[in-house]
């Protein structure tokens, strides 16, 4: 087994990517795109404010997307299967599936596949505006902006986004896929339920279990006959309304591939961003609860995985956001929420509507996205993927989320695009708007931000991990309030070791970078191997034997032979072997086993008197002649009757010499009775 | 090891499905239904057969319910709340959501309308359903360490499931009710090709083969259209869930197309609320509905509205869905009493009617008068339309499923005895599978074979897998897209891949299969070689060149070689000097005279498999034939071979016949 980490990813929207070589197959784990890199492109200039964009220093071209660096170097035909754990982890799939050489299988949970598809379609229709503005690429292979002359003009921050730290990532940029590509991709996905067993090529069994990160996202168990693996992606123990981290089903596997790098990206960016925010004199609400939220990773809360700390913190965070929203609305400013995490959006929507209710504010909530309608309809039909409390709503016959009710009473309005006439008729400020895209480069968020960027009463809610300075470049001067909130998007560091203790693996594959930041205690019950980007890690196998099933019909054919010294019996076995559902089976052949009584392999030494007796039983008369030269165990038996024959024996070798074939066979038979063999 | 199967209900009858299966120390109850045809204690399964003491918690590992029909779930609140079973209960999400509606509806009918003593209360139902663990399709659920269960789509009603259960190596599937053809809102039953010891299948339509559904749908719509066009009222007695929704989709669609304005009513709020559940559970309907519902939910009916009791005698045509089905009482009976006497009206009976119900009486013949009890009767003048819209599979479907799964044994339940007997014969004769149809309260023991768990060394696997791979390659099967073709690969592997090894059985240890080469090392012993040896004399001569093939005689034929020996040989003595040269000559002789081309020459010997020939240098070789008259012209060749190549013994004989020419 070998592991190559292609990318450590970049937070929630771009999970880490690996290639796992197992049983001669290559599994690609996750296939995201780094949408934060969209920041290098300028949004479509609005008619009135063209000069405003010019100063931003962004690329003015049809945006391309940055895929996982290094993935394009792998031959798609060598990738046998892809596992996808969350909707954002599948946005890069069409790049792979549109390659004719790719013929692997893709596995994702039903919900991930559906929401991922909606995200892709969203991206595509938002991108269509660019296509209308710029037209298709003139030189599809190498657009103008990719030339060095153009790239040199970029600021160092943007240049690094385009080229990567070592300047090697230009090859990862791809033009966006088409609707046909998405369709083709979706056809290749095999949708799964949580806990559904799926078998790849008869030898690898994979099961997805809830990871709690978002609705439908999952961790995997990957079982081959030789090793059982837990592939642990970013996980949340107690999410608010969807299924939590199902660690119970991951117990007892040999190996844990720890791939939750959320702590890595969150802390790294936190420091950087707080500084930037201060420098730019942007207004950040400084509330103690927010501070405690970002400092969560360092604090020492009880080592209980399912403490209420996570949930209550998340609830506190959301209610803090709600209070900011209310403040803003009361001050006459609108609120713009460009967040794409489905679960968080649904939670916010519920909390906000409740807050509005309690403050008796009659403010419309708009949800503007090409796929918003479908997404909302879809999440109301997935009770199986939600938390127990939410499922209770199904059993008591209520709608799963309150957006159904909100829509009915005209509190929530859903529109596919900002340019619909109905929206204009209903338009009213202040208002709350949920709309993509969080990169602030495409989608309805761009015109809305243009409208409000200089309004100090309005509020923009961003997630942590977004580089605010870069994100707001095209919207300067910025006066709008910006609230950056960190939603929990992985296992908190202090819970990692208690979790591993419960999972009880033999070996943990752990990211080197995370070890540097959070040193792990030495542990006697399992060992660590550390992986880093683009270095192949060879994992030693620790099972000697493989389990198999011997079918009864074959077992009955066996003729065991007890060995003289030990308590061991042995038998020759001949049958069909086959692999089914990751398990080896041995069954009887159609043609019955032919067991010649002849033994072919002997060991140990031969007692001469025993041999002589055995020979006499078969009517062969002979005498023992001890060899004078050799000291131990070398002797000759001369047979005189009925045929002449010579048997020469030493400790390791016996030679039978006899002209008559029948006699030779008899001697051989006699030998078999006195010597261990098979 | 065996599987014990206790049929508590639906044995040779339809109603109160309940089968208790014991295997590997686990005991699972499949379904816990009630019989709609009885009002006495025969309506519930005889639970005392599970445990005499009434300690059901230790007697049963779990209860699994396949779907929400009363003949499958009806006795559950009674069993848990009155009999006191507290163990785990499993059912699918829709079943858990919809079963309480069915149960409460039934309870109300029994208690409020018929005034019977209630077997369980509303609280009982709610308490009971609280204990239920919901199942999703295909999800493997570990009930405990040894028992795992999995639900498969059965199609019959929303949330109906076939249940796969596995304990150790024993595996069974209990189908519940299923439908092998998709209908308006549900897909067809779908199950993996599992290796099964036992299949317990329903057999409602054990001998019926149904025609195309579309014809029946057209007929149904035409009958209704005709009736409402004539100003009549249409009564469709149906259960609140399942059939009602399917027919509603059908009618709603038809009304839209034909632009009809006649109202379609749903009796009581029950069915309206049921539609709410259907909307959320759309993931459990057919693919087509799922796809079309991405924006507008199919279960938002345009033409359907709730019914009020005052509308029973209102003038004008209408269509009414009324519960319960089979007109077994309740509201549908009330409406039937009012509407049956008019020729204009129509009663449509979709699906199966249990014996003893009015629905059954209407279906069997055309009665003009139906006695409700001793004193009251109803004149039946309305039209009766019978609709075989039953969501059960027909006999072809059952046979297809049995053949597809190819279990070792089949048990038929949920059917009528004579038809089950015929189906049993078919299964046994056509498919060669043991089949049974036990009666209620009968116990059946099925023997199973147990596979032996062994360890296999990696070396053994490697030696086999190279063979396996070459097989796969040979048949040009691509490995990567074989996920769906697993079975083919397995079949392929089954046909050709033979494995040969040695099984090592040690007391208190798992038996271990090793490769032959590993044995000595594993046992920690040294090999004791056994060889046959023979020292044969060969005359070294000068030989005339062979002219042609005609000069040779075929002297030995055996599986490996043909040996040609020259007929005329002229002797001329010359002694050899170098042994190797002699071997070279011997080799070329052997190669020309035999058809062996793979004889190898080593430093001092010729080798064919384990057969070695070298020039004998010992004066008195003990393997030499003690014969007189050994001439100077004779060179001795010492041959030895291992017992596995004993068939090469004949080479010695051949060598003796040789007279080889030496040029030195």
**Are B228 and B370 found together in one domain?**
yes
**Are B412 and B545 found together in one domain?**
no
The rounded Cα B83 to chain-centroid distance in angstroms is: 34
Confidence (pLDDT) at A677: 79
What average pLDDT score do residues A514-528 get?
Answer: 83
Residues from chain B that touch A589, judged by Cβ atoms under 8 A, are 498
- The enclosing H or E element of B196 equals none
Residues B427 and A506: their CA atoms lie apart, in Å, by 50
Per-residue pLDDT band for A80 (boundaries 50, 70, 90) equals: very high
A600–B contact, CB cutoff 8 A: yes
- For chain A, percent helix, then strand, then coil, each to nearest 5? 35, 25, 40
Angle at which helix B93-108 crosses helix B122-130, to 10 degrees, equals: 170
Residue A659 has pLDDT above 60, yes or no: yes
In Å, what is the CA distance from A299 to each residue of A245, A258, A495, B522? Answer: 21, 21, 11, 54
Residue A175 has pLDDT above 50, yes or no: yes
CATH number at residue B339: 3.40.50.10890
Q: Which of A182, A607, A274 is nearest to A468 (CA)?
A: A274
**pLDDT, tens only, B58-114:** 999 999 999 998 899 999 999 999 999 999 999 999 999 999 988 887 887 777 666
**Highest mean pLDDT pick, A111-125, B263-277, B299-313:** A111-125
Per-residue pLDDT band for B9 (boundaries 50, 70, 90) equals: very high
Residue B200 has pLDDT above 50, yes or no: yes
Chain A: nearest CA to B9, how far in angstroms? 28
Q: Could you tell me what percent of chain A has a pLDDT over 70?
A: 89
- For chain A, the residue count is 678
Question: Of the candidates A550, A569, A678, which has its C-beta nearest B451's C-beta?
Answer: A550
Per-residue pLDDT band for B467 (boundaries 50, 70, 90) equals: low
> Residues B13, B81, B202, B589: which is the catalytic one?
B202
Which value, in Å, is the radius of gyration of the alpha carbons in chain B? 40
Q: Which residue out of B136, B480, B481 would a mutagenesis test of the A interface target, given it has the greatest number of A Cβ atoms within 10 Å?
A: B480
Residue A346 has pLDDT above 80, yes or no: yes
CB B453 to CB A636 under 8 A? no
Q: Which of A170, A195, A631 is nearest to A385 (CA)?
A: A195
Chain A: nearest CA to B490, how far in angstroms? 6
Chain A: nearest CA to B512, how far in angstroms? 8
Strand-strand pairing, B512-514 and B498-506: antiparallel
Per-residue pLDDT band for B253 (boundaries 50, 70, 90) equals: confident
Q: Taking all residues of chain B, what is their mean pLDDT, rounded to a whole number?
A: 81
Confidence (pLDDT) at A653: 83
A403–B contact, CB cutoff 8 A: no
More confident residue, B171 or B533: B171
Residues A622 and A70: their CA atoms lie apart, in Å, by 78
- The enclosing H or E element of B663 equals none
State whether the Cα torsion B79-B84-B89-B92 is positive or negative.
positive
With a CB cutoff of 8 Å and minimum separation 6, the contacts of B95 are B65, B66, B67, B68, B73, B159, B160, B161
B-facing residues of A in 293-322 (CB < 8 A) are: none
With a CB cutoff of 8 Å and minimum separation 6, the contacts of B491 are none
Confidence (pLDDT) at A91: 95
More confident residue, A133 or B486: A133
Angle at which helix A372-379 crosses helix A110-134, to 10 degrees, equals: 170
Residues B145 and B477: their CA atoms lie apart, in Å, by 38
User: Is the separation of the CB atoms in A493 and A334 below 8 Å?
Assistant: no
Per-residue pLDDT band for B151 (boundaries 50, 70, 90) equals: very high
Q: Which residue out of A573, A635, A652 would a mutagenesis test of the B interface target, given it has the greatest number of B Cβ atoms within 10 Å?
A: A573
User: Is the separation of the CB atoms in A248 and A606 below 8 Å?
Assistant: no
In a domain, B182, yes or no: yes
User: Is the separation of the CB atoms in A116 and A87 below 8 Å?
Assistant: yes
Q: Could you tell me what percent of chain A has a pLDDT over 90?
A: 42
A155–B contact, CB cutoff 8 A: no
A643–B contact, CB cutoff 8 A: no
DSSP class of residue A214 equals S
**Are B376 and B407 found together in one domain?**
no
**Are B430 and B462 found together in one domain?**
no
Per-residue pLDDT band for B625 (boundaries 50, 70, 90) equals: low
Helix (H, G, I), strand (E, B) or coil at A403: helix
Q: Which residue out of B191, B528, B535 would a mutagenesis test of the A interface target, given it has the greatest number of A Cβ atoms within 10 Å?
A: B528
Confidence (pLDDT) at A294: 35
CB A580 to CB B513 under 8 A? no
B-facing residues of A in 95-114 (CB < 8 A) are: 103-105, 110
Residue A508 has pLDDT above 70, yes or no: yes
Peptide bond into A437 cis (omega under 30): yes
For residues A360, A364, A367 and A372, what is the CA-based torsion angle, rounded to 10 degrees? 80
* ipTM entry: 0.84
CB B138 to CB A606 under 8 A? no
Which residue pairs, CB below 8 angstroms and at least 24 apart, start in B582-591? B582/B540, B582/B615, B582/B635, B582/B660, B582/B662, B583/B613, B583/B614, B583/B615, B585/B660, B585/B661, B585/B662, B586/B538, B586/B613, B586/B637, B586/B655, B586/B658, B586/B660, B589/B658, B589/B660, B590/B654
Residues from chain A that touch B500, judged by Cβ atoms under 8 A, are 572-574
Chain A: nearest CA to B510, how far in angstroms? 10
What average pLDDT score do residues B435-462 get?
Answer: 88
**Highest mean pLDDT pick, A563-567, B57-61, B302-306, B457-461:** B57-61
Using the CB atoms, write b or e for B437-468: b if 16+ within 10 Å. Answer: bbebeeebebebebbbebbbbbebbebbbeeb
Residue A26 has pLDDT above 50, yes or no: yes
In a domain, B484, yes or no: no
What average pLDDT score do residues A400-406 get?
Answer: 91
Q: Which two tokens stand for residue A70?
A: 């290094």
CATH number at residue B423: 3.60.15.10
Confidence (pLDDT) at A287: 37
CB pairs < 8 Å spanning A and B: 274
DSSP class of residue A583 equals E
Question: Of the candidates A397, A552, A661, which has its C-beta nearest B273's C-beta?
Answer: A397
State the CB neighbour count (10 A cutoff) for residue A666.
22
* pTM across the whole model: 0.83
Per-residue pLDDT band for B380 (boundaries 50, 70, 90) equals: confident
Residue B15: phi and psi, rounded to 5, are: 130, 155
**Are B227 and B159 found together in one domain?**
no
DSSP class of residue B654 equals H
Residues from chain A that touch B506, judged by Cβ atoms under 8 A, are 566-568
**Are B291 and B185 found together in one domain?**
no
State the CB neighbour count (10 A cutoff) for residue A280.
15
State the CB neighbour count (10 A cutoff) for residue A295.
12
**Are B298 and B365 found together in one domain?**
yes
In Å, what is the CA distance from A267 to each residue of A100, A277, B52? Answer: 40, 16, 64
Helix (H, G, I), strand (E, B) or coil at A436: coil
Residues B583 and B574: their CA atoms lie apart, in Å, by 16
Q: Which of A631, A637, A625 is nearest to A674 (CA)?
A: A637
Task: For B477, name the nearest residue in chain A, comparing CA atoms only.
Answer: A201
- The enclosing H or E element of A218 equals strand A218-223
Per-residue pLDDT band for B507 (boundaries 50, 70, 90) equals: confident
How many domains is chain B partitioned into structurally?
Answer: 4
Residues A264 and A270: their CA atoms lie apart, in Å, by 10
DSSP string computed for A74-86? S-GGG--EEE--S
Per-residue pLDDT band for A306 (boundaries 50, 70, 90) equals: low
Q: Could you tell me what percent of chain B has a pLDDT over 90?
A: 31
Confidence (pLDDT) at B350: 78
CB B502 to CB A571 under 8 A? yes
Q: Which two tokens stand for residue A365?
A: 């909530």
Residues from chain B that touch A400, judged by Cβ atoms under 8 A, are 280
Residue B27 has pLDDT above 70, yes or no: yes
Question: Of the candidates A568, A655, A677, which has its C-beta nearest B640's C-beta?
Answer: A655
More confident residue, B637 or A479: A479
CB A394 to CB B141 under 8 A? no
Q: Which two tokens stand for residue B146?
A: 């040894």
User: Is the separation of the CB atoms in A32 and A88 below 8 Å?
Assistant: yes
Per-residue pLDDT band for B664 (boundaries 50, 70, 90) equals: very low
Residues B605 and B533: their CA atoms lie apart, in Å, by 14
In a domain, B299, yes or no: yes
A200–B contact, CB cutoff 8 A: yes
State whether the Cα torsion A272-A276-A279-A285 is positive or negative.
negative
Q: Which residue out of A560, A657, A666 would a mutagenesis test of the B interface target, given it has the greatest number of B Cβ atoms within 10 Å?
A: A657
Residue A401 has pLDDT above 80, yes or no: yes
Q: Which of A24, A27, A57, A28 is nearest to A40 (CA)?
A: A57
What average pLDDT score do residues A523-534 get?
Answer: 87
Q: B590: domain range?
A: 532-661
User: Is the separation of the CB atoms in A234 and A257 below 8 Å?
Assistant: no
Q: Which two tokens stand for residue B109?
A: 């009918």
DSSP string computed for A543-563? -SEEEEEE-HHHHTT---EE-
User: Is the separation of the CB atoms in A334 and A456 below 8 Å?
Assistant: no
Strand-strand pairing, A432-434 and A459-463: unpaired
What average pLDDT score do residues B37-56 get?
Answer: 88
CB A394 to CB B277 under 8 A? yes
User: Is the separation of the CB atoms in A614 and A623 below 8 Å?
Assistant: no
**pLDDT, tens only, B511-555:** 888 888 888 888 888 888 888 888 877 776 644 444 444 444 444
For residues A528, A532, A535 and A541, what is the CA-based torsion angle, rounded to 10 degrees? 20
Q: Could you tell me what percent of chain B has a pLDDT over 70?
A: 83
**pLDDT, tens only, B291-341:** 777 767 778 788 888 888 888 888 889 999 887 777 877 788 888 888 988
Confidence (pLDDT) at B32: 94
A580–B contact, CB cutoff 8 A: yes
Q: Which two tokens stand for residue A141?
A: 């292979």
Q: Which of B306, B235, B295, B301 is nearest to B266 (CA)?
A: B306
Residues A181 and A179: their CA atoms lie apart, in Å, by 5
Q: Which of B204, B149, B190 is nearest to B173 (CA)?
A: B149
- The enclosing H or E element of A485 equals strand A481-485
CB A577 to CB B478 under 8 A? no
State the CB neighbour count (10 A cutoff) for residue B469.
14
**Are B413 and B520 found together in one domain?**
no
Question: Of the candidates A546, A603, A658, which has its C-beta nearest B528's C-beta?
Answer: A603
Residues A199 and A266: their CA atoms lie apart, in Å, by 36
**Are B588 and B638 found together in one domain?**
yes
Residues A82 and A107: their CA atoms lie apart, in Å, by 6
A668–B contact, CB cutoff 8 A: yes
Task: For A565, name the nearest residue in chain B, comparing CA atoms only.
Answer: B523
Q: Which two tokens stand for residue A237?
A: 């123990």
Residue A150 has pLDDT above 60, yes or no: yes
Residues B84 and B355: their CA atoms lie apart, in Å, by 31
Question: Of the candidates B96, B282, B532, which has its C-beta nearest A395's C-beta?
Answer: B96
Confidence (pLDDT) at A140: 76
A579-588, B322-331, B480-489: range with lowest mean pLDDT: B480-489
- The enclosing H or E element of B173 equals strand B170-174
Q: Taking all residues of chain A, what is their mean pLDDT, rounded to a whole number?
A: 84
Residue B147: phi and psi, rounded to 5, are: -100, 125
What average pLDDT score do residues A185-200 get?
Answer: 93
Residues from chain B that touch A242, judged by Cβ atoms under 8 A, are none
CB A570 to CB B519 under 8 A? yes
Site of tokens 């970013």: A234
Residue A204 has pLDDT above 80, yes or no: yes
Is B202 catalytic? The answer is yes
B-facing residues of A in 505-544 (CB < 8 A) are: 544
CB B523 to CB A586 under 8 A? no
A648–B contact, CB cutoff 8 A: yes
Residue B532 bridge partners (DSSP): A656, B641
Residues B533 and B189: their CA atoms lie apart, in Å, by 69
User: Is the separation of the CB atoms in B301 and B245 below 8 Å?
Assistant: no
Confidence (pLDDT) at B567: 39
Question: Of the candidates A400, A567, A603, which has its C-beta nearest B523's C-beta?
Answer: A603
CB B643 to CB A600 under 8 A? yes
């Amino acid at each position: 087994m070998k592991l190559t980490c292609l990318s450590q990813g970049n937070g929630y929207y771009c999970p880490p990517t690996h290639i796992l070589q197992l049983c001669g197959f290559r599994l690609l784990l996750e296939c995201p795109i780094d949408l934060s890199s969209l920041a290098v492109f300028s949004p479509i200039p609005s008619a009135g404010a063209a000069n405003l964009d010019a100063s931003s220093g962004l690329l003015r071209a049809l945006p391309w997307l940055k895929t996982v660096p290094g993935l394009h170097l792998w031959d798609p035909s060598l990738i046998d299967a892809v596992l996808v754990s969350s909707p954002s982890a599948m946005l890069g799939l069409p790049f792979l599936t549109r390659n004719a050489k790719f013929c692997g299988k893709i596995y994702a949970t039903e919900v991930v596949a559906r929401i991922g598809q909606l995200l892709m379609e969203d991206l595509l229709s938002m991108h269509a505006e660019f296509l209308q503005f710029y037209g298709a690429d003139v030189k599809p292979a190498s657009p103008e902006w990719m030339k060095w002359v153009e790239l040199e003009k970029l600021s160092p921050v943007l240049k690094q986004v385009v080229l990567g730290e070592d300047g090697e990532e230009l090859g990862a940029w791809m033009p966006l896929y088409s609707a046909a590509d998405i369709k083709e991709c979706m056809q290749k996905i095999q949708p799964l339920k949580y806990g559904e067993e799926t078998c790849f090529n008869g030898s690898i069994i994979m099961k997805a279990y809830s990871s709690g990160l978002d609705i439908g996202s999952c961790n995997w168990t990957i079982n081959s006959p030789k090793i059982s693996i837990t592939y642990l992606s970013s996980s949340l123990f107690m999410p608010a309304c969807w299924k939590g981290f199902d660690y119970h089903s991951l117990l007892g596997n040999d190996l844990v591939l720890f791939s939750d790098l959320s702590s890595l990206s969150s802390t790294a960016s936190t420091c950087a961003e707080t500084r930037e925010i201060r420098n730019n004199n942007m207004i950040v609400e400084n509330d103690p609860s927010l501070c405690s939220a970002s400092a969560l990773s360092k604090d020492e809360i009880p080592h209980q995985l399912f403490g209420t700390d996570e949930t209550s913190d998340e609830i506190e965070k959301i209610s803090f956001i709600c209070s900011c929203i209310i403040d803003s609305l009361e001050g006459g400013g609108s609120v713009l929420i460009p967040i794409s995490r489905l679960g968080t959006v649904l939670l916010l929507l519920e909390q906000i509507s409740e807050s509005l209710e309690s403050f008796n504010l009659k403010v419309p909530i708009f949800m503007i996205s090409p796929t918003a309608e479908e997404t909302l309809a879809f999440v109301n039909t997935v009770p199986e993927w939600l938390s127990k409390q939410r499922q209770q709503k199904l059993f008591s016959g209520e709608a799963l989320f309150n957006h159904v009710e909100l829509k009915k009473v005209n509190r929530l309005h859903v529109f596919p695009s900002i340019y619909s006439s109905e929206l204009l008729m209903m338009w009213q400020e202040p208002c709350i708007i949920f709309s993509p895209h969080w990169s602030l480069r495409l989608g309805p968020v761009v015109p809305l931000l243009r409208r409000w960027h200089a309004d100090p009463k309005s509020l923009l809610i961003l997630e942590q991990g977004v580089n605010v300075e870069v994100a707001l470049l095209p919207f300067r001067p910025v006066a709008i309030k910006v609230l950056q909130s960190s939603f929990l998007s992985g296992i908190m560091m202090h819970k990692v070791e208690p979790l591993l203790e419960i999972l009880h693996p033999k070996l943990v594959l752990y990211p080197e970078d995370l070890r540097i930041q959070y040193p792990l205690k030495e542990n006697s019950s399992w060992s660590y191997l550390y992986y880093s980007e683009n270095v192949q890690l060879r994992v030693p196998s620790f099972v000697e034997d493989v389990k198999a099933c011997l079918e009864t019909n074959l077992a009955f054919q066996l003729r065991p032979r007890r060995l003289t010294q030990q308590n061991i019996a042995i038998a020759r076995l001949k049958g069909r072997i086959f692999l089914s559902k990751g398990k080896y089976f041995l069954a009887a052949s159609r043609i019955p086993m032919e067991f010649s009584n002849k033994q072919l392999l002997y060991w140990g030494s031969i007692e001469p008197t025993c041999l002589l007796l055995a020979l006499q039983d078969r009517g062969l008369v002979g005498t023992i002649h001890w060899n004078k030269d050799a000291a131990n165990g070398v002797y000759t038996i001369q047979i005189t009757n009925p045929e002449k024959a010579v048997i020469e024996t030493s400790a390791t070798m016996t030679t039978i010499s006899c002209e008559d074939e029948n006699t030779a066979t008899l001697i051989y038979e006699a030998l078999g009775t006195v010597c261990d063999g098979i | 090891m065996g599987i014990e199967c206790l049929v508590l209900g639906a044995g040779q009858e339809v109603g109160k499905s309940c089968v208790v299966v014991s295997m590997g120390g686990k005991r699972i109850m499949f379904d816990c239904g009630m019989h709609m045809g009885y009002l006495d204690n025969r309506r519930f399964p005889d639970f005392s057969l599970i445990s005499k003491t009434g300690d059901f918690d230790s007697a049963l590992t779990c209860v699994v319910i396949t779907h929400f029909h009363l003949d499958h779930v009806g006795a559950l609140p009674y069993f848990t709340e009155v009999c006191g079973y507290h163990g785990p209960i499993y059912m699918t999400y829709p079943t858990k959501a919809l079963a309480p509606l069915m149960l409460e509806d039934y309870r109300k009918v029994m208690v409020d309308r018929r005034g019977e003593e209630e077997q369980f209360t509303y609280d009982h139902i709610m308490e009971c359903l609280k204990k239920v663990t919901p199942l999703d399709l295909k999800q493997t659920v570990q009930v405990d360490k040894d028992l795992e269960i999995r639900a498969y789509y059965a199609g019959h009603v929303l949330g109906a499931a076939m249940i796969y259960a596995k304990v150790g190596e024993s595996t069974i599937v209990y189908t519940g009710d299923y439908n092998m053809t998709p209908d308006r809102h549900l897909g067809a039953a779908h199950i993996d090709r599992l290796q099964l010891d036992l299949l317990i299948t329903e057999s409602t339509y054990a001998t019926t083969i149904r025609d195309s559904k579309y014809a029946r749908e057209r007929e149904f719509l035409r009958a209704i259209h005709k009736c409402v066009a004539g100003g009549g009222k249409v009564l469709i007695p149906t259960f609140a869930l399942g059939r009602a929704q399917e027919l509603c989709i059908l009618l709603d669609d038809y009304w839209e197309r034909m632009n009809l304005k006649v109202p379609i009513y749903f009796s009581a709020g029950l069915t309206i609320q049921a539609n709410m559940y259907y909307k959320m559970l759309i993931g459990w309907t057919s693919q087509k509905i799922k796809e079309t519902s991405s924006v507008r939910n199919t279960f938002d009916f345009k033409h359907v509205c709730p019914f009020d009791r005052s509308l029973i005698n209102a003038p004008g045509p209408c269509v009414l869905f009324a519960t319960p089905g089979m007109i077994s009482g309740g509201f549908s009976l009330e409406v039937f009493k009012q509407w049956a006497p008019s020729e204009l009206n129509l009663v449509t009976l979709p699906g199966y009617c249990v014996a003893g119900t009015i629905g059954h009486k209407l279906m069997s013949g055309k009665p003009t008068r139906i006695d409700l009890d001793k004193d009251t009767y109803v004149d039946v003048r309305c039209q009766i339309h019978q609709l075989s819209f039953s969501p059960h599979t027909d006999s072809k479907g059952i046979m297809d499923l049995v053949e597809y799964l190819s279990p070792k044994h089949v048990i038929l339940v949920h059917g009528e005895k004579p038809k089950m007997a015929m189906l049993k014969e078919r299964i046994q004769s056509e498919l060669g599978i043991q089949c049974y149809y036990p009666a209620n309260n009968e116990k059946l023991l099925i023997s199973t074979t147990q596979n032996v768990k062994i360890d296999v060394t990696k070396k053994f696997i490697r030696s086999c897998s190279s063979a396996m791979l070459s097989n796969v390659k040979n048949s040009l099967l691509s490995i990567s897209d074989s996920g769906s073709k697993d079975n083919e690969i397995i079949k392929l592997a089954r046909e050709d891949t033979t494995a040969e090894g040695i099984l090592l059985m040690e007391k208190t240890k798992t038996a271990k299969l090793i490769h032959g080469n590993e044995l000595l090392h594993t046992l920690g012993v040294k090999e004791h070689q056994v060889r046959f040896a023979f020292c044969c004399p060969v005359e070294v001569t000068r030989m005339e060149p062979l002219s042609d093939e005609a000069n040779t005689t075929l002297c030995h034929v055996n599986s490996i070689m043909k040996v040609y020996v020259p007929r005329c040989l002229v002797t001329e003595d010359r002694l050899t000097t170098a042994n190797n040269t002699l071997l070279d000559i011997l080799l070329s002789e052997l190669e020309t005279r035999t058809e062996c081309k793979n004889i190898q020459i080593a430093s001092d010997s010729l080798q064919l498999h384990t057969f070695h020939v070298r020039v004998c240098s010992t004066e008195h070789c003990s393997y030499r034939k003690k014969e007189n008259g050994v001439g100077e012209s004779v060179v001795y060749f010492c041959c030895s071979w291992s017992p596995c190549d004993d068939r090469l013994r004949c080479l010695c004989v051949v060598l003796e016949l040789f007279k080889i020419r030496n040029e030195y």
